[in-house]
Amino acid sequence: MKVLVTGGTGYIGSHTCVELIEAGHEPIVLDNLCNSNPESLHRVAQITGCDTIPFIEGDVCDENVLHEVFRKHPDIKCVIHFAGLKAVGESVSMPLQYYRNNLLSTMSLCRVMQQYGVKKIIFSSSATVYSGDNEMPLRESSKTGNCTNPYGWTKYMCEQILRDIAKADPEWSVVLLRYFNPVGAHKSGLIGEHPNGIPNNLMPFISQTAIGKREKLSVFGNDYDTHDGTGVRDYIHVVDLARGHVAAANYMMDHPGESVFNLGTGTGYSVLDMVTAFEQANGVNVPYVIAPRRDGDLATCYADPAKSRQELGWEAQFNQVDMCRDAWNWQSKNPNGYDA
């Protein structure tokens, strides 16, 4: 089926395009390239043996662009909405840009989808919507809210908007996917994550340190109540995450209403576990220093993925070694990302 993928040139979107094509679907990508490079789609074509991936450069907030897309592709069956700004720290300094982009894109998209009778949407949500005072593991029924930054609130608010749309019109099918910590890259090393500037997230920082672009990793805190004192997270291979979207797209076809699923592995690893695993999997050194805790960080965060397994029939297949090996394969083959 034809699937509109907003934000499809980005990190998770490009991996999802590969998995959609391999499952026999046809992605159409809409992206304004504010945090990506269209070269990713050439690489998706190379991996899958497709001639080209239909691509429209445009802003999801712009309803005129959306009308153009739905008029040109009247057979779109569902939408996967990745487009959004995602840097937590930046959202604290530029809240208005985050609320405008992430909320307006979601509302404009749903308004136009409704006009063309396309009422199936998968939304990129995040474990960040869970309240910090929950017990682990996090279940879909765990408490949400009390977000610590504007980025998290945009995800929380978009979830609520989508939930209300599904409540008002029973023809809508809304799937909210709460990602834990996506890492790694496609095994080909052709697509992956290339953050602009200094990486905020752990894995790209580890990869860039290993390749010598960064002098050393700062480990944010070693006095948490965890097995080695450093923060514990549920890292999930991006290809597993991408396959979760294919499972959700199939699920949506006969499940109207609102559904929410965790996409995580259920296993937590500490910062130092990840550093050691990366060094061992790839035979490289990752120098680090212990630094103060980062504001807003939790000691531990990991998913209970049972609902996804039972209802979506989806489960993560890749392990920590796969994540580290594939992250390094991408980093070492593309030290400057998609830039030559």
Residues 6+ apart with CB under 8 A from 168: none
Cα torsion for 57, 59, 63, 68, to the nearest 10°? 0
Sign of CA dihedral 85, 89, 93, 99: positive
Site for ligand WQD in 256-295 (CB under 6 A): 271, 294
- 99 touches ligand WQD (CB under 6 A): no
Q: Using the rule CB under 6 A, is 144 a contact of ligand WQD? A: no
Binding mask 79-118 for ligand NAD (x = CB under 6 A): ---xxxxx--------------x---x-------------
Residue choice 5, 19, 20, 32 for contact with ligand NAD (CB under 6 A): 32
Task: Decide: is 61 part of the binding site for ligand NAD (CB under 6 A).
Answer: yes
- Asked if 33 is part of the footprint of ligand NAD (rule: CB under 6 A), the reply reads yes
Residue (of 67, 59, 135, 124) closest to 97 by Cα position: 59
Q: How far is the CB of 142 from ligand NAD (least distance, A)?
A: 16
Q: In whole angstroms, what is the distance from residue 168 CA to residue 312 CA? A: 24
**In the block, which residue shows the tokens 């002098």?**
215
Site string for ligand WQD, 192-231 (x = CB under 6 A): --------xxx--x-----------xxxx----------x
13 binds ligand NAD (CB under 6 A): yes
In angstroms, give the least distance from the CB of 118 to ligand WQD. 25
- Is residue 263 classed exposed, middle or buried when 0-12, 13-18 and 19+ CB atoms within 10 A define those classes? buried
DSSP assignment of 240-293: HHHHHHHHHHHHHHT--EEEEEEES-S--EEHHHHHHHHHHHHT----EEEEPP
Nearer to ligand NAD, 8 or 221 (CB): 8
**Given the rule CB under 6 A, which residues bind ligand NAD?**
6-7, 9-13, 31-36, 59-61, 82-86, 101, 105, 124, 126, 179, 182
